[in-house]
Amino acid sequence: MAQTDDFVNIGASCEYNQYGRDEAITLGTSFANILEIDCKKLRSVTVNIQIVGGAIDGDYIVYGTTKRNPTMTVTEDEWAIVKASTALTRDVTTIDTFTGNYTKLIVQAKGDSGTPAAKAWYKGKN
């Protein structure tokens, strides 16, 4: 995963914005991590996911944890499903916003067949 993070600290009020993106994702037919988001300083996170071109749709799922230093492999004792498996339609950007006391969120995605290309972005705000 070649995720890029852009951290920005704005103003005297300490408004904290966090951005991340991965615009070169190749999906397989099994769920795999496409975004790993550190949410310790965030109140809400908005995630955008898109399957790019081709004739293949897919699915995504989001897990969250409140553990301080969780493993980044989803396990039942550390992670809970925040967003159940949801369909992704090619060339349509799916947008979801998550709020809660999570320390980390993991976004996983897969293609229905083959190896479709995908893009994913997130923006977190306190």
CA–chain centroid gap for 6, Å, is 15
Asked if CATH classification 2.60.120.20 holds for the domain at 4-125, the reply, yes or no, is yes
The 10s digit of each residue's pLDDT in 70-121 is 877 887 788 999 999 999 988 889 999 999 889 999 999 999 888 888 999 9
Token couple for 19: 């951005």
Q: Are 25 and 115 in contact (CB under 8 A)?
A: no
Q: What are the backbone dihedrals phi and psi of residue 112, each rounded to the nearest 5 degrees, phi first?
A: -70, -30
- The domain spans of the chain are 4-125
State the pTM of this model.
Answer: 0.84
Token couple for 46: 């908005």
Q: Are 89 and 111 in contact (CB under 8 A)?
A: no
* Cα–Cα distance for residue pair 78/28, rounded to 1 Å: 24
